[in-house]
Structure 1
Amino acid sequence: MCASVGATLASDVRKATTIMSDVLPVLTGTLVRLRPWRADDAPAIHAACQDPDIQRWTTVPVPYTPDDAEDFLARRVPDARARGGAAFAVEDLADRSLAGSTTLLQLVAGVGEIGYWVAPGARRRGLGADALATLASWAFAHAGAHRLELLIEPDNHASRALAARAGFVAEDLLPDRLLVRGERRDALSHVLLAP
């Protein structure tokens, strides 16, 4: 469930920001709906990010406070747009609860990196894989992506299985690729190419 943002050149960022419109669409998958984040999502984000697995495998602050959830909405979501990406709330279609987060972290020269987390109550029901597949379909069809990448720690077996269910293929071990709260960690790249 962890992804790291790579360095980009300013010219790449300028080019990337022109790829998508300023208004994010609402995307509907089989089990989930991806929609733009709202200010009233902060309490649900805070609750989900108390989960030990989200704290272990992602770059969220630990401890995760209500201010961190508000910072995510005020700064992190717009930061993704500035890098040519798009951040979506993942809603469970069955009950409209917040099931997770999926973000096209950046899109440069047709290569995108995706980060995500799945709320504890939404796991093992196919919602995470559906969210990734829905975001990937949109990125290929409408955002100009031709390659999408996930960076997952080798020991994060649940996330690796989720990636496989969404059609991503494990490609390379990248030593020290991730920086999580000041600690370097290895990552496995998982890749999905445009159809």
Structure 2
Amino acid sequence: MKSRFLFHVVFPLVMGTTGAFVVNNRPPSLVRLQAQRMSLPEFDSKTLFDMSSIDSSVPSEAFKGAMKNMQTTYRIFQDALSAGYDLKLCIACAIAGEYNVEEVRAQISDHIASHPCVLFTWEQSPSCQKAVKYLDVAGADYKIVYLDKPWSEGNKMRAELAKTVGKSSVPIIFIDGDYVGGYDSGVGKDSPGLVDMAFQGTLRSKLEIAGAL
């Protein structure tokens, strides 16, 4: 894979998720000029990740740190691809970074077991907001776990949730410990999302059995 893809896809991903938009107190425009000077888009991936090939007078420690983050992100992305995950889940894994899988899975299990109806959401997501309103109209009792408060923790849970249910989009909803999909979509007939469950007449009964009504 050529580093043009890495530079224009993975590198912005790393810079965006780490907040490293300013390198060594340089504004973004100067960072771009620095990257052009180093001709990064023209390197192959082996050269790109060989820090010894870069003029030592160019990169600061902050820049080297960003490059190291990009190496890690690329490796995680490649590992996810090798595991057979789809592109969205691979990106979710790359954004999440490195973490203790068992600890995150235990955290997720604790959340799911703590309430009969649990929504893993982003606060500003339109689909998440619709799901909450839908459950409010139904009179359901539910628990919200925000995956964006903070992002650093939520991204890890989102990646592991996506591996478990097969879908990385939010909301990710569990009723009585079972994944039921999101607001209006899911991954199969047993988890079609709240809207389809309502039309099928199964949402209210599922909530009642779980003790969420």
Q: TM-score range by the shorter chain?
A: under 0.3
More strand by share: 1
- TM (norm. structure 1) is 0.24
Higher Rg? 2
More helix by share: 2
- TM (norm. structure 2) is 0.23
